[in-house]
Amino acid sequence: MEFAAGARLEVRITASDVGKRVTVRSVAEEAAPGAAFTDTVGILTSWEEGVLLVTRRDGTRVRLAEEAVVAAKTVPAAPARRRGPAADYAELAGVQERGWRAAEREALGGWLLRASVVDGAGFTRRANSVLPLGDPGMPLPRALDRVREWYGARGLPAYAQLATGAGDTQEVLAAELEALGWRREVSALVMVGALAPLAELGPEPVGPLAVAAPVAEGPEAVDPGVRLGRTPDEAWLRRYHRAAGQESGGVPEGVRAVLASGPSPWFARIDAADVPAGGGGEGVEPASGGGGFAHTGTGVSGTAGVPDAIGRCVVDGRWAGFAAVEVAPEQRRRGLAQRVMGALARTALAEGASAAWLQVERDNEAAIALYTRLGFTVHHHYHHYRAPEAA
């Protein structure tokens, strides 16, 4: 949101507006030809000692010297979504937490402490970080001390998972943690989209009649090459990048438990014998970031029993969350990721889901491009902050 041409420039915000969405016009430090000012839109996260800190949607922070500000005002929250399912951050955060459930969980007021220790280390930051969804019930410094003590007792570093970019996210808290020495390590995008279009993905375009096929008919009703199961079997785990290299049956139970968590999990794989020769699929295949499989063909898996593609989906009410969509490097650009997602989407639709979500690291440009082509849009960004080492 910019300032109208010819409008009187005024600074209409004060330090009491911290936490509100603002637009700020300031003198550009390195002005381009004909552009002496720059506009910054985001959450005003602090105003101290003559410096304004504004957090943009993606979590990047802009520091503006007070004397450089020529105009500023509060602006409405971001407009309602024009594409994809509507949802607030709290709803999505709850769905995400249930879909990747930590082995150990403990409430700290409105915060959730999570840990999944496997072989002396935490299995993924998501399952080993505090998730602040409300008030911890005590002053922030004391709450952070409790967090560090809780993770320290388990031999783990303390992490906090915070979000930016939606109407009810945590820009101010993130700025406070940074001021206390917490360091951001990883950032990711949470993307959402309609589920029905994904159900049309397959080896060839499929129509609405195929999409409506009951799940009892299995994935072979549309794509015989995709095998579905309720738990990650040994073949699936051999492709999963966090378990690759483990001998058969050697994947720790703690890893399996997190993977199989959630209200209604599904796992998909495509074996080498089920991949037609030659090219085919358009676009770029992303890499990520027990038995019971429905289809039991006799094809030999990719390399030493490794599937060419895998994926995971957790159905939770109206939401279907996609994760671990991974494709062998030599099989990318052949549509395998779309086939995996299509089979999982058809299964989720049959269970009553209508919306899809996924998360992808911010620097995975190939995956972001693919998901954008599939109709996903960015809902918010999340970041993992690590506590400073104890003095």
DSSP secondary structure letters along 72-88: EEE-PPPPPPSSS----
To 10 degrees, what angle do helices 140-152 and 171-179 make? 70
Report the predicted TM-score, pTM, of the whole model to 2 decimal places. Answer: 0.78
* CA–CA gap between residue 322 and residue 355 (Å, rounded): 11
Name beta bridge partners: 73.
23
* CA–CA gap between residue 377 and residue 83 (Å, rounded): 7
- pLDDT confidence of residue 243: 81
Question: What string of DSSP letters covers 326-364?
Answer: EE-GGGTTSSHHHHHHHHHHHHHHHTT--EEEEEEETT-
* CA–CA gap between residue 65 and residue 53 (Å, rounded): 9
- pLDDT confidence of residue 391: 59
Name beta bridge partners: 44.
54
* CA–CA gap between residue 225 and residue 202 (Å, rounded): 10
pLDDT tens digits, the chain, 391 residues: what are they? 444 444 567 888 898 888 888 889 988 875 555 568 888 888 888 898 899 989 887 778 888 998 889 898 988 876 555 556 889 999 999 999 999 999 999 999 999 999 999 999 999 999 999 999 999 999 999 999 999 999 999 999 999 999 999 888 999 999 999 999 999 999 999 999 999 999 988 775 443 333 333 333 444 456 888 999 999 999 999 999 988 666 656 789 999 999 999 999 999 999 986 665 554 444 444 544 433 444 323 233 345 589 999 999 999 999 999 999 999 999 988 889 999 999 999 999 999 999 999 999 999 998 899 899 999 999 999 999 999 987 5
- pLDDT confidence of residue 190: 97
Q: Which DSSP helix (H) or strand (E) runs through 209?
A: helix 208-211
